[in-house]
Amino acid sequence: MVNFKPQFYILKEAILKIQDNFRQLYGKEPFTVAGPGRINLIGEHTDYNSGFVLPAAVDKSIYAAIAKNGSNTINVFANQFGEKASFEINEATPRTGWLNYLIGVTYYVQQTGEQIEGVDVIIDGDIPVGAGMSSSAALCSAYGFALNELFSLGFSRMELAVIGQKTEHNFVGLQCGIMDQFASLHGKKGHAMKLDCRSLEYEYIPFDFPDYKIALVNTMVSHSLAGTEYNVRRQQCEEGVALLKKHYPSIKSLRDVTYEQLTRHWKEFNATIYDRCSFIVNENQRLLAGCEALRQNDLSGFGEMMYASHKGLSKRYDVSCKELDFLVEKAKTIASVAGARMMGGGFGGCSINIVHRDAIENFSTEIIHAYSKQFNITPEIYVMQLEEGVSLV
C-alpha cells in the first residue's frame, strides 16, 4: 500500500503512456503538461478568509496532452474514467463532472478577451480523486497552462490560478479560496509557500528536514457533506465578520480580527458562529508561528501546532470526521511522528503526517493495521516529495 516506487519511473511511464494514447487517438504529436496536486502543512480554511496558507506542490500530477485541431471544438478523453466528451469553444453552460473544469477554464480564458481555437486533449493522472489533494485544481492548472502555451496567451501563473478558482466557483459550485490553484502553479522543489491570500504575495519556505518525510494517509472516504458544508462554513465566517464590523468598521474579513476583539463580543454570537470564527483567528496565528518554527528548525514545535490545528478543525470548525480523528489520534501515539492533522477541506480525504524517515515502514504497518481493524477499510499511504509547479514535460 505504501508508494515507494521511485518517482521518476512513475512520471516517465505516465507521460509515455499519455503521449502514446494521444498518438493513437488523434494521430498526431501532442505536447504534454503536468499539473501537480498539493499538500498543505498548516492554515486550513483560512484562504477564503483572506488569511495565510502554507501549501506545497507534490509529486503526484494530472497530465494533459494537447494539440490544436483546426476547428472550434474541444475534444477530450479522460483516461482515468475511460470517458470521452466534446464541447464548442464558446460553450458557457456547466455540464457534469470533470468536464466542467475544462469548460470553465476555456470560458474564463476567453472572458479576458483572448482568442483560442479548438484542441484535442487527453487527461490522465495519479492524484487520487477525492483524497483532498486537489486533483481538480491540478486539472484546471494543467489545462489552463497548456492553452496558455499553445496559443501564446501570456497569462501569469497567478492569473491562471484565478481562472481555475473562478471555474470552481461558477462551473462546479464550490466557493473555494485560492490555495489549491495557487499551489499547483507556483510550487518549488523542497519548499512550501507562505501565501497571503489577501495580497497574493508569497514567499518560499524550505522544508528542510532530511530525517523526516511527509506521509499522507488516505482515509478512502469522502463524505457527501464536503461540498455543501464547505460553502456553509464560508457563510458562517461572513456572518461573524458582519457582527464584528458593527464594532470595528475597518474589519473586512476574519484575517483582520484579533482574539481580544472576538472574545470581547462573545456574548453577542451564536455559539456555532463563535466557534467557527475563533478557529480561523487561531489558525492564522498558528500559521505565522508555524512558519517561524520552520525557520528556526523547530520541527517538534511545528508538530504541536499541527495537532492544535487538527483539534480546532475537528471541535470548533467541525470539518473533520471519525476516520480522520482516528488517524490523528493514532499518529499521536507513534513516537516517530512529529505532527499530524487532517488536510484540505475535510469530511474525508487524507491526514498529513510528518514521520521520521527510518520509521516510515513501521508507521505504515501500524496505521494500516489499526485503521483497517477499526473501519474495515484499507487506507493508502503516500510518501510525498515537494515539487515544482505546473510545467511542460
Active site residues: 180
Q: Find the part of the chain contacting ligand GLA (CB under 6 A) among 11-19, 43-51, 204-212, 269-277.
A: 43-51
| Closer residue to ligand GLA in complex, CB, 176/321 | 176
Indicate whether 180 belongs to the interface with ligand GLA (CB under 6 A). Answer: yes
The contact pattern for ligand GLA, residues 116-145, with x = CB under 6 A and - = no contact, is ------------------x-----------
Residues paired with residue 340 on neighbouring β-strands, in sequence order: 353
The residue with cell 458593527 is 246
The contact pattern for ligand GLA, residues 150-179, with x = CB under 6 A and - = no contact, is --------------------------xx-x
Per DSSP, the chain holds a count of helices (H) and strands (E) of 11, 13
CA distance 373 to 134: 28
Q: Find the part of the chain contacting ligand GLA (CB under 6 A) among 15-23, 40-48, 188-196, 326-334.
A: 40-48
Q: Measured from the CB of residue 45, what is the shortest distance to ligand GLA in angstroms?
A: 5
CA distance 97 to 279: 32
Runs of H (alpha helix) within 168-298: 179-186, 225-245, 259-264, 271-295
CB 126 within 8 A of CB 81: no
| Closer residue to ligand GLA in complex, CB, 233/356 | 233
Indicate whether 254 belongs to the interface with ligand GLA (CB under 6 A). Answer: no
CA distance 139 to 123: 8
The residue with cell 473533520 is 320
Which of 45, 194, 341, 356 lies at the binding interface for ligand GLA (CB under 6 A)?
45
The closest of 148, 121, 144 to 67, measured between CA atoms, is 121
Q: Which three cell numbers stand for residue 362?
A: 513501521
| Closer residue to ligand GLA in complex, CB, 134/167 | 134
CA-CA distances (angstroms) from residue 238 to 233, 247, 269, 307? 9, 15, 13, 26
Runs of H (alpha helix) within 98-175: 99-111, 135-150, 157-167
Indicate whether 310 belongs to the interface with ligand GLA (CB under 6 A). Answer: no
Q: Measured from the CB of residue 68, what is the shortest distance to ligand GLA in angstroms?
A: 31
CA distance 39 to 104: 24
Distance of CA 105 to the CA centre of its chain: 17
Indicate whether 344 belongs to the interface with ligand GLA (CB under 6 A). Answer: yes
| Closer residue to ligand GLA in complex, CB, 30/43 | 43
Q: Measured from the CB of residue 267, what is the shortest distance to ligand GLA in angstroms?
A: 29
Indicate whether 48 belongs to the interface with ligand GLA (CB under 6 A). Answer: yes
Residue 387, exposed/middle/buried by CB under 10 A (0-12, 13-18, 19+)? buried
Which of 33, 47, 191, 274 lies at the binding interface for ligand GLA (CB under 6 A)?
47
Q: Measured from the CB of residue 374, what is the shortest distance to ligand GLA in angstroms?
A: 25
Q: Measured from the CB of residue 179, what is the shortest distance to ligand GLA in angstroms?
A: 4
Q: Find the part of the chain contacting ligand GLA (CB under 6 A) among 3-11, 42-50, 294-302, 365-373.
A: 42-50
| Closer residue to ligand GLA in complex, CB, 119/352 | 352
Residue 239, exposed/middle/buried by CB under 10 A (0-12, 13-18, 19+)? middle
Cβ neighbours of 70 (radius 10 Å): 10
| Closer residue to ligand GLA in complex, CB, 48/107 | 48
CA distance 316 to 323: 17
Indicate whether 345 belongs to the interface with ligand GLA (CB under 6 A). Answer: yes
| Binding residues for ligand GLA (CB under 6 A) | 44-45, 47-48, 134, 176-177, 179-180, 344-345
